[in-house]
Chains A and B, each alone.
Chain A
Amino acid sequence: MTSKQIDRIATAVLWLAGILIIALLGWFLIRILGDGLPQLSWKFITSKPQEISAGGGVGPQLFNSFYILFLSLLLSLPIGMGAGIYLAVYAKKNGFTDLIRISVEALSSVPSIVFGLFGYLLFANLFGWKFSILGGACTLALLNLPVLVRVTEEGIRAVPASYWEASLALGSTKWQAIRKVLVPAALPTIITGITLTSGRALGESAILIYTAGLSVSRMFPDFNPMKIGETLSVHLWYVQSEALVPDAKQIAQGSAALLLIVVLVFNLLIGIPSRILQKRLTGGK
């Protein structure tokens, strides 16, 4: 075979691989959305679930998904970004820094169900919070912390050292340089990280079964973080496997479609400020 022929074969194989991915995604979307979209209605999205009879909605679950996401970011963002900034800027190469890095690596490889168990033992049992939105949010924050630390550190390390020098040479303190130059320049990377962790938070089920519970408050919307708070993805698992309602299958299909749409829309929305920022920073003309 000549090298030209090999080149053609290689091109064809790569094309096929690409098309296969698109086909898989397309088939997946058609199945999920095709089955689920007909189940979606305003009533389904906003009304409360039923235990025995048909016609229940997923309003509280949808609300809880975002509430838990919000609370977990509130907890994990300051700590994660703080640790990332510390590692990128202040940390000298020594045993302590290595220990932090190893801890971050180790944490990020822990299976989420183990985090769930840990959260259950710590928040639900030891702290006596029982199944609660706060317990779920805290556990989720622990799960996402390593990712946030890493993207912050990488984002800040990717900022040219010359910015740092320029700021200090103008007589700024380290903190001023971090706040006004390094973090803004690293923000697109950090926002990507936040998107990743948020998507994970919306989709996570294993750890929330243990910590946030399988039921919802009788009030809706209920902002009390100590209340039990099942999320949409947990609900999907729950109706599909345990529920008594006669329309469980329809609810599962609807929930799956809704979850997919929510995650997609959320990712797109959070990507917009990031793109605008990127354009502003790099001097779009």
Chain B
Amino acid sequence: MTERHKINVSKLNLFYGDNHALHDIEMTIESNTIAALIGPSGCGKSTFLRTLNRMNDLIDGVRITGSVAVDGQNVYGPETDIVSLRKRVGMVFQRPNPFPMSIYDNIAYGPRIHGTKKKAVLDEIVERSLRQAALWDEVKDRLNKSALGLSGGQQQRLCIARLLAVEPDVLLMDEPTSALDPISTLKVEELTQTLKERYTIIIVTHNMQQAARISDVTSFFLNGYLVETDKTDKIFTNPNDQRTEDYITGRFG
């Protein structure tokens, strides 16, 4: 059964020191879907997202129990290679964080650290990734200029392109549009729709319209618990749990 799911999370608990931040999370996510994680600030949705590629390992004093499996393979198993996990499960952050390098070097960074050296191959990866992220036409004449000269929205698409260059199959997005203007937001949202044909996307968002617009399934988190997961239109029209209803109708959070 578990083989069929792209991601399978079971009995996941996470502690920051004595703070029990995630309680018995159970979730499955299928390939080529967009899963949205919603909930008020501090509910654990970003923390949960970061358990999927073990970014929480960077924080001192984090303890995790339970299991997270990607393609049936336990992420927290003793034989797991974090480097290859993160190559497979990539991440886009809340604030665009291009490196202080040229646009080209930003995209080529991932392939280079994973061993691609040939200029011709890198050229091809850079172009393909930028095209996939719908940024190629805007930057093709300035590939050798610094990425920090791009607008915020362009920077975020650059970060997505940089991620696509390492050919992951799961994309984790941690409020990727919260620092962007509406037009850039729209571009990133459109992008997720085309990316979903090839990737599995899990997106944390504070913007409920965004979750409703782009996702296939939505999970509602509250105080470290996963309240419910369902098809997005079901969650937003007729949720099972009263707390979900209260949240999406704006009664709290």
Contact = CB atoms under 8 A, between A and B. Distances in A.
A149 B89 CA distance: 36
Interface in A96-124: none
A168 B89 CA distance: 11
Given A169-B86, A172-B83, A282 B97 contact: no
Interface stretch (A44-52, A67-75, A158-166): A158-166
Given A166-B97, A283-B100, A172 B113 contact: yes
Contact of B91 (A169, A173, A283): A169
A147 B5 CA distance: 54
B100 A162 contact: no
B83 A181 contact: no
A171 B99 contact: no
Contact of B163 (A162, A170, A181): A170
A192 interface: no
Contacts of B84: 171
Interface string B135-177: 0000000000111110000000001001100100000000000
B53 interface: yes
Contacts of A171: 83-87, 90, 110, 113-114, 166
23 contacts: A93-B60, A165-B97, A166-B97, A166-B98, A166-B162, A167-B113, A169-B90, A171-B87, A171-B90, A171-B110, A171-B113, A172-B83, A172-B109, A172-B110, A184-B100, A185-B99, A280-B146, A281-B100, A281-B146, A282-B146, A282-B148, A283-B149, A284-B146
Interface string B64-84: 000000000000000000011
B225 interface: no
B93 interface: yes
Interface of A: 92-93, 160, 162-163, 165-173, 176, 180-181, 184-185, 280-285
Contacts of B93: 162, 165-166, 169
B146 to A, nearest CB: 3
B149 A166 contact: no
A283 B104 CA distance: 13
Given A185-B100, A283-B100, A285-B149, A180 B87 contact: no
- The residue in B90, B113, B148 that gathers the most chain A C-beta atoms within 10 A of its C-beta is B113
Interface string B96-114: 0111110000000110011
A89 to B, nearest CB: 11
A283 B55 contact: no
Contacts, number: 82
Which one of B84, B85, B145 has the greatest number of beta carbons of chain A within 10 Å? B145
Contacts of A176: 113
A1 to B, nearest CB: 48
Interface residues of B, number: 31
A46 B101 CA distance: 44
Nearest to A159: B100
Contacts of A181: 99
A280 B102 CA distance: 8
B97 A163 contact: yes
Given A162-B93, A281-B100, A282-B100, A168 B113 contact: no
A163 B155 CA distance: 13
A281 B93 CA distance: 21
B95 interface: yes
A170 B100 contact: no
Given A170-B113, A171-B114, A283 B83 contact: no
B58 interface: yes
Contacts of B60: 92-93
Nearest to B165: A170
A92 B145 CA distance: 37
A184 B102 CA distance: 13
Given A162-B95, A162-B97, A170 B110 contact: yes
A169 B55 contact: yes
Interface in B1-58: 53, 55, 58
Contacts of A92: 60
Nearest to B142: A285
B86 A283 contact: no
Contacts of B99: 163, 166-167, 181, 185
B168 to A, nearest CB: 9
A160 B166 contact: no
B199 to A, nearest CB: 15
Contacts of B87: 170-171
B145 to A, nearest CB: 7
Contacts of A172: 83, 109-110, 113
A180 B146 CA distance: 15
Interface string B176-217: 000000000000000000000000000000000000000000
B97 A160 contact: yes
Given A163-B99, A185-B100, A169 B53 contact: yes
